[in-house]
Amino acid sequence: MFLTRFFRFLRRLASHLAHLRFAAFLRELGAALRRLSLSLRSVLNAGTLRRQLAGRAQGKRVIVFPPTLDWDLPLFQRPQQMARAYSEKEDTLVLYLTANHAHDRVGALLRVSDSLWLVNASLARFLPALLRGARETVVSLSWTVNRRYVPLLRPDKLIYEYIDELEIFDGYDEQMRRDHLALLRQADLTVCTAARLYAQVRGAAHAALYSPNAGDYDFFSRTSRTAAAPEAAAVSEAYRFTLGYYGALAEWFDYGLVAAAADAHADWLFLLVGMDYDGSLRRSGVLERHNVRWIPPQPYARLPSFLRVFDLALIPFLLNEVTLSTSPVKLFEYMAARKPILCSRMPECMRYRSVETYADPADFLRKAADLLERRGDPALLDLLDAEARANTWGARADEILCALESPLPAAEPTRRFPLGDKKAIPGI
């Protein structure tokens, strides 16, 4: 077969030359050389993969994450956080596959720790042979397109993380919905990050668990001992209070509310740190105000230095089909930093006693003024700390692994928050 293809290739090249099609000759030759280079690189990388992973899986639980977000994406999200949390469990090896979209540069594999490795996704086909000595293999995926990795990796168990309304994903179409429904039936455990998502799937999933997002308590609890970012400290000094937000700035962000609040309080600085995800920040006109400042997205490691200058931490999202199912990671990071928090009335924010929510712009102004006066209240700070400690990525990993061992049929959420639930949750 190889020789047949090779001779056909030579005949095509000869034909191009005979008919003086020099551009076509060069294109065909160049494409062949690129394919050869990729093949040789794949062979070399596969050898490196075998040498580095040899024996590491023996007797362990191995959890494989098919490629979604690059590991070195500036904002650490649930896939990276869960991979790290699983890797800290006893006798567990985590392989995080990366497609090297924009931020990663992984040739074959890259060691994060002895129990956590980044693996070039193009080498996934070599993994089953390397994992034969594992106690069990688990695939955890959150993007329906990655369903194709299941027959390739042949895991003992499958976790499907349903983390957002499907419509939020790029390339949403009917095929994505079909894959979603198939994964609900196929997965040993479907993990839902919002009660609204859980309610959608509990009748269709083989087994389901409500497991919201969480925070890296150890990292963000050091915020008060972190030096403030110079670019944030310089601008905040001119104002009485700094009300801050970090994360994506997109169409679900309530620019109108921030603009009205900035107009009402000239002595309040609204500091927005993050990516102008869809151009909505610039279109909004909110930056025309002297007391609304924007800082472009920052590496994850620097987030505490910006959080350090916040007197009040905000999540001012509009309420829509997306945000009603959103469990904001930043919520738990704000908690760990012991910053008073004010959010719109998103169901997943209303579950926590330490979090204040507002109903409308006037209510926002009242609640913000009250929280700014109470920002040093020991009772509030202790409550924030306690709820942050109760909602860590390690705790989420424990509950997911426990449910995977003894899955129960999907039913009403039974999560009990250690500090209670002070507010009713609309729509659930």
Q: What structural domains and CATH numbers belong to the chain?
A: 56-210 (3.40.50.2000), 217-391 (3.40.50.2000)
For CA atoms 69, 70, 76, 82, the dihedral sign is positive
CA atoms of 99 and 4, how far apart (whole Å): 32
Please give the pLDDT value at position 417. Answer: 34
Please give the pLDDT value at position 296. Answer: 95
Length of the chain: 428
Q: Side chain identity at 83, as an amino acid letter?
A: A
Please give the pLDDT value at position 416. Answer: 34
CA atoms of 413 and 392, how far apart (whole Å): 19
pLDDT digits (tens, 9 = 90+) for 187-197: 999 999 999 99
Please give the pLDDT value at position 424. Answer: 29
Please give the pLDDT value at position 5. Answer: 64
Quote the pTM value.
Answer: 0.84
The CA-CA-CA angle for residues 263, 269, 274, to 5°, reads 110
Q: What is the largest CA-CA distance in the chain?
A: 86
Please give the pLDDT value at position 419. Answer: 36
Please give the pLDDT value at position 134. Answer: 97
Contact 416, 390 (CB under 8 A): no
Name the stretches of the chain with pLDDT < 50.
38, 411-428
Contact 182, 159 (CB under 8 A): no
CA atoms of 64 and 197, how far apart (whole Å): 24
